[in-house]
């Protein structure tokens, strides 16, 4: 399976000390154990983190960057297949702005969608 353009950029910046330091400045530890993203969040509540090298700039999901940073880029599910069998990063804490890698897990899209539907019943 091929890696998405955004994941290729995560791979490019994952070992960059300046990028990691900048990432950490946009986080805040909460009493409930979540590490919340304090920079831009999407209308759905997910954190966006900008990767840039002077010429190129791309926003990636902050929780995907955190997952790759903690578990390794090779553990990041590529999520490129268009079926519900693809893997996505799920927030076990149900806090979309959380970037605590211990609150994140790779699950199938089908499982994640089912979990979302269960909450809305």
Which CATH number is 61's domain given?
A: 3.90.75
Closest CA to 34 of 88, 92, 90, 82: 92
- In degrees, rounded to 5, the angle at the alpha carbon of residue 105 between the alpha carbons of residues 99 and 111 is 125
What's the pLDDT tens digit per position in 31-46? 999 999 999 999 999 9
Q: How confident is the model at residue 121 (pLDDT cuts 50, 70, 90)?
A: very low
What's the pLDDT tens digit per position in 63-113? 999 999 999 988 877 655 555 456 789 999 999 999 999 999 988 766 566
Domain range enclosing 49: 5-119
pTM of the model: 0.84
Q: What is the DSSP letter of 57?
A: E
Give yes or no for a contact between 64 and 56, defined as CB atoms under 8 angstroms apart. Answer: no
Q: Does residue 51 carry a pLDDT above 50?
A: yes
Q: What is the count of structural domains for the chain? A: 1
3-state secondary structure of 40: coil
């Amino acid at each position: 399976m091929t890696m998405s353009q955004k994941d290729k950029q995560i791979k490019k910046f994952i070992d960059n000390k300046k990028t990691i330091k900048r990432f950490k400045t946009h986080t805040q530890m909460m009493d409930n154990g979540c590490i919340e993203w304090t920079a831009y969040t999407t209308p759905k509540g997910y954190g966006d983190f900008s990767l840039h090298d002077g010429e190129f700039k791309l926003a990636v999901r902050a929780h995907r960057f955190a997952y790759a940073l903690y578990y390794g880029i090779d553990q990041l599910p590529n999520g490129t297949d268009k079926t519900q069998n693809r893997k996505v990063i799920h927030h076990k804490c149900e806090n979309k702005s959380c970037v605590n890698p211990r609150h994140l897990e790779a699950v199938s899209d089908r499982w994640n969608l089912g979990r979302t539907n269960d909450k809305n019943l």
